[in-house]
A and B are shown apart, each in its own frame.
Chain A
Amino acid sequence: MHRAMQTRFFETPNEKELLSASAAVLQDLGFQIEESVRAVGFLRATKERSAREYGQYLQQVLFLVLSLGNLRIPVDLHQKIAAGLITRPLNRDATRQEVRIVFYRVVWKGDGQADRQYIPPGQQSMEMIRDPEIYQQFFAKLSKAVFLEAHTL
């Protein structure tokens, strides 16, 4: 289940450094660290951005024309992108470490209109981010930060 994409191995006994480097990379990517537990190698980071997309506004206008101005479908307004990261030693001597990261986002919809009724922002939806490029980008930055090669499965 997208495990290969989310996971990399590093030949290092220093889990703490890996974790702090991950935090630094996430900060470089504009995330803010929300929670960290060093003892189990856990980080959670989020960033909030606008989710407005050109295509959705085109769709909105199209529906508005087709429904003779009665229906303005809600569009994505705001999103919160989050990352959950876990590091863990793979063997007993802890010379190999695994880093696994999951990206997902929560999107707030709104700014629609049905007849005369304005639809206020509020509807939420959530999706996992499955774009491999985002994961590759993160791990490329991380391996640069710790001066180690990131091995895949």
Chain B
Amino acid sequence: MTEQRRGSMTANTRCIWGGLLIVGSLLLSGCSTPPTPPDLLAPTDAQLKIRSIQTRTFDIKDRNVAMRAVIASLQDLGFIIERANEPLGLVTAARFAEPNYYDVISVTVTVRQDTKDRLTIRANAIYNNKPIDDPKVYQNFFASLERSLFLTKE
């Protein structure tokens, strides 16, 4: 009699385990994440294009002069300089897209010495948390920067 009971019990537990397995597998299949694509951090064409839009090289020996020109041209464009770091060649500035004071344009410019008499200037502009990828915007910035560089060269 005890053996019979034990037999029915094992059948019961087996049933429960089977049910759990089915439910569990259903739940798991619902939650499973798609496999990570291997090219998640690989550079895209768009990225390279944006970088080339944002970058210009200049034949200038003095990095400090270039940084001051960057700051001057940002001020001419109505930006407020927020941060500057000479050793890293970094300038961060922002402005409100007047007359509406809820749209913000912020810019980070890096000045890097490539060789002795060449340096690279890169500008990153963000409009309300969205990166600007319109080449015209950068052309305008570099045009005013060139004017400013020309002025300081005199």
Number of A-B contacts (CB under 8 A): 48
Contact size range, B = 20 to 34
Name B102's closest neighbour in chain A (CB-CB). A125
Q: Chain A's interface: helix, strand, loop or mixed, by majority?
A: strand
B84-131 contacts to A (CB < 8 Å) = 84-86, 91, 96, 98, 101
**A135 CB within 8 Å of chain B:** no
Name B104's closest neighbour in chain A (CB-CB). A126
Q: Chain B's interface: helix, strand, loop or mixed, by majority?
A: mixed
A37-64 contacts to B (CB < 8 Å) = 37, 39-42, 44
Kindly identify which residue among A3, A39, A92, A104 contacts B80, using a CB–CB cutoff of 8 Å.
A104
When the two chains form their complex, are residues A86 and B83 in contact, meaning their CB atoms are under 8 A apart? Answer: no
Nearest CB of B to A40, in Å: 5
Contact size range, A = 20 to 34
**A119 CB within 8 Å of chain B:** no
Residues of B within 8 A of A (CB): 64, 67-68, 71-72, 75-76, 78, 80-86, 91, 96, 98, 101, 152-154
